[in-house]
A and B are shown apart, each in its own frame.
Chain A
Amino acid sequence: NAGVTQTPKFRILKIGQSMTLQCTQDMNHNYMYWYRQDPGMGLKLIYYSVGAGITDKGEVPNGYNVSRSTTEDFPLRLELAAPSQTSVYFCASSGELNTEAFFGQGTRLTVV
């Protein structure tokens, strides 16, 4: 089982550029999440989804967009990259509400 796969693992962006962080899971999970983690800090929820076609904002959604066209994929889009978006991004999925969430290994993004 691949679990939750994130690509790319590392990326350097220039200010104003855009990119999509990919997240895919092969466990047929309904719930998916995007988090960011700044150095020395905890995880902040950006967006989450309960299934294909349904997304909702988390704690820090500004500057990001998501879509959920399939159960497997939950891409995170940065339209105009800013230095404040330099962070490690984690994607996670879970099957039902009272079960464990599985996390990807993260995407380390630097905006210069």
Chain B
Amino acid sequence: DAKTTQPPSMDCAEGRAANLPCNHSTISGNEYVYWYRQIHSQGPQYIIHGLKNNETNEMASLIITEDRKSSTLILPHATLRDTAVYYCIVRVATGSNYKLTFGKGTLLTVNP
């Protein structure tokens, strides 16, 4: 799996959009970009994933650059409950490599 680079921490004001960046410059053509988050000491929670196109669901939007070397997770209206560690992961979709490997993530703190 390709390596990812995320800032260790970010702050965001409540009600504003939170934009979390992720670099994955060595991503391969068949690798997906996934985002998970971990609130306090709970088990990680899936947020969204994509391959090439931008994706949106009820939780967030995922913007992937055209060269696929970076992506941004957008929480459109951050709330205090969005304070968590956010993990960006790239993962191959086929073949025998089915590991799901986490990096250090970004601690997002949403402030009142």
Contact = CB atoms under 8 A, between A and B. Distances in A.
B101 A59 contact: yes
A24 interface: no
Given A97-B92, A97-B93, A98-B32, A106 B102 contact: no
Interface residue SS majority, chain A: strand
A105 B43 contact: yes
Interface residue SS majority, chain B: loop
A48 B44 contact: no
30 contacts: A4-B43, A33-B100, A35-B102, A42-B85, A42-B103, A42-B104, A42-B105, A43-B44, A43-B87, A43-B102, A45-B99, A45-B100, A45-B101, A45-B102, A50-B98, A58-B101, A94-B100, A97-B92, A97-B93, A97-B98, A98-B32, A98-B93, A100-B46, A100-B49, A101-B46, A101-B100, A102-B46, A104-B43, A105-B42, A105-B43
Contacts of B43: 4, 90, 92, 103-106
Contacts of B42: 105-106
B26 to A, nearest CB: 18
Interface string A67-103: 0000000000000000000001010101001101111
A30 to B, nearest CB: 9
Interface in B39-83: 41-46, 49
Say which size band chain A's interface belongs to.
20 to 34
Contacts, number: 59
Contacts of A100: 34, 46, 49
B104 A103 contact: no
B99 A58 contact: yes
A101 B46 CA distance: 7
